[in-house]
Amino acid sequence: MKISVGLYGTNAHQIALALIQGFNKHYKLFRETSKQAKTRFEQGDWLGVHKAVKERIRFYDDRVDECVERLRDEFDAQHIDDSTWQQIKLLYIGLLLNHKQPELAETFFNSVTTRILHRDYFRNDFIFVRPTLSTENIEADNDPTYRSYYAKEDGVRGAITAIVKDFNWHRPFADIERDVNHVYHAIRAFLKGMPPREVNFQIQVLASPFYRNKAAYIIGKAINGAAEYPFAIPVLHDDNGKLYLDTILLDAWRIGLLFSLSRAYFMVDMEVPSGYVQFLRAVLPNKPRSELYIMLGLGKQGKTMFFRDFIYHLHHSEDKFIMAPGIRGMVMLVFTLPSYPYVFKIIKDVFGPAKNMDRATVKKKFLMVKQVDRVGRMADTLEFSNAAFPLKRFDEEVMEELRTLAPSCFEIDGETLIIKHLYIERRMEPLNIHLERVERTNNIEALEHAIKEYGSAIRELAQANIFPGDMLWKNFGITRFGRVVFYDYDEIEYMTDCNFRQIPPAPDFETEMSGEVWYAVGKNDVFPEEFSTFLLASPTLRKVFHKYHADLLSAKFWQDAQQKIRQGHVEDFFPYPQELRFCNSPPDVN
């Protein structure tokens, strides 16, 4: 269909304009809060940082709701005919030709129209099933996506100094010369000497820092001949409120861990987000674009790209969805596709007898996980509604589980299985299975590492104001990098909502030996002394846990953590090993 000049000014044109106006309002607000991240960092407003991240999550859905309401009120959108919807899409494409965020605007169009249209219309004639406009090499009108630096008279040190100063933080550095020297010698040690400088030598740095928690990250890469060297430099506040460079990360896989979905989203001021993603993909070629968009705070775009990649994978694979390995949960039905590294979670219709909650409560818990600092210890989830899957790809065991435990959560339309609501997250080896395997093979080193990590995960979540609730091994997974991550959220609570208590002494010996509880227990009461009973039945596991984390079995640890949170203290969490920090192991300058 060609766009006729006569379409301009028509109802279809006005609706297309309303849609782009809705998106532009969303992105304007998104950029404003991202720009303010610089001020929050300069002022050390750490509670404000967490508040801004939490509030930003609602921005997208609020603007979609506004736009849907406008289309219904002003244009009676639910009664628009097919040909007009096709005209709207074509006119909307015309409005995106010189747009700086066309991929995000296409996704916004989908979000609004799928709230109005029946799923029979979810095809490329009416929505953007496939992207229409290229995002390659879109130029920003104001700041470029990245800046280039060259080693001139003052060499590489001078270039590093210029990089840092160009961010124009309104807070002094404690000792920028010392920090630049540390960076320079860390690079030299990593490369085992500085290679000869080729004629094309340059350092490219993304124009906006990446703000998260208490840090601002400088992300870039050095180019020298045919070689490229990615790097990330975290900038922090010292005890006197002055800035310093904490370390430099030079391994691409370590930089990739900064973008793990088990951490909070970054605040980044981007006029052209696709430019940032394109740059990051060059630095982190194994990181999916969908995950990069998500970590930049553009969750809906990440979900769109994830599902496109997933459908593409289904077209090029034959294996079937099967039940996920591990102990079956009482709240969630979990299945997976062996050839794809994710699990799919559905809230059951009926929960196990020990679970006193409803579907709305479970959804609230999952939303809570998105809003808090996950500190690298909780897996993020992608939430989908009315997701369509090929029915023939489901193993009969999965179908039987769906029919028995979640019949209201799906429907079948011809050859398609429609799941009304589900969560998708990265697949990990369940910690209980991992421990059984390493204990069976007598791999003491791996066993000790996993239990140490498990306790560290619980400790760090507590310091971030999260009490996991159900801390059984099966509710944790271990990543390919050996990090233990929590992923069962139906019982999580804010630490500050819990009441951590010591078990009071029994009034007499007979009462203590009776097996009956002799003390009153409130709804949010937690007795850490009891953790050992149901977590550490194995003598081997108990011995290792006590070696590193015995304090987690006392109420005092939890009460002290609560007190710090209530006093407004925000803990430091480092997404890289302590030994890489210059304050712990400064580089050899000789």
* Active-site amino acid positions: 380
Report the distance separating Cα 173 and Cα 153, nearest Å: 23
- Three-state secondary structure string covering 360-406: HHHHHHHHHHHHCCCCCCECCCEEEEEEEEEHHHECHHHHHHHHHHC
Kindly give, in sequence order, each residue whose CB lies less than 8 Å from that of residue 4, ignoring residues fewer than 6 positions away: none
Q: Residue 416 has what DSSP assignment? A: E
How many Å apart are CA 375 and CA 575, to the nearest integer?
8
DSSP secondary structure of 144-202 = -SEEEE---TTHHHHHHHHHHHTT--SS-BS-HHHHHHHHHHHHHHHHTSPPPPPTT-E
What is the rounded distance in angstroms from the CA atom of residue 18 to the CA atom of residue 71?
8
Return the H-helix or E-strand segment holding 96. none
Q: Which residues are registered as beta bridge partners of 384?
A: 422
Please name the residue ranges forming H helices in 382-482. Answer: 396-405, 431-440, 444-463
Buried b (16+ CB within 10 A) or exposed e, 178-204: ebbbbbbbbbbeeeeeeeeeeeebebb
- Tokens standing for residue 405: 């435990």
State the amino acid at position 582 in one-letter form: F
Between the alpha carbon of residue 333 and those of residues 365, 424, 475, the distances in Å are 16, 12, 14
88-111: b or e for each residue (b if 16 or more CB lie within 10 Å)?
bbbbbbebbeebbbbbbbbbbbbb
Residues 6+ positions from 222 with CB-CB distance below 8 Å:
201, 202, 203, 204, 228, 229, 231
Q: Residue 172: what are its φ and ψ, rounded to 5°?
A: -70, 155
Q: Residue 68 — φ and ψ, nearest 5°?
A: -60, -45
**β 499-500/525-526 pair status:** parallel
CA distance 348 to 368: 19
* String of DSSP letters for 31-68: HHHHHHHHHHHHHT-HHHHHHHHHHHHHHHHHHHHHHH
Cα→Cα distances 463→375, 460, 507, 543, Å: 10, 5, 35, 24
Q: Does residue 476 contact residue 430 with C-beta atoms inside 8 Å?
A: yes
Q: What angle do CA 557, 561, 563 make, to 5 degrees?
A: 120
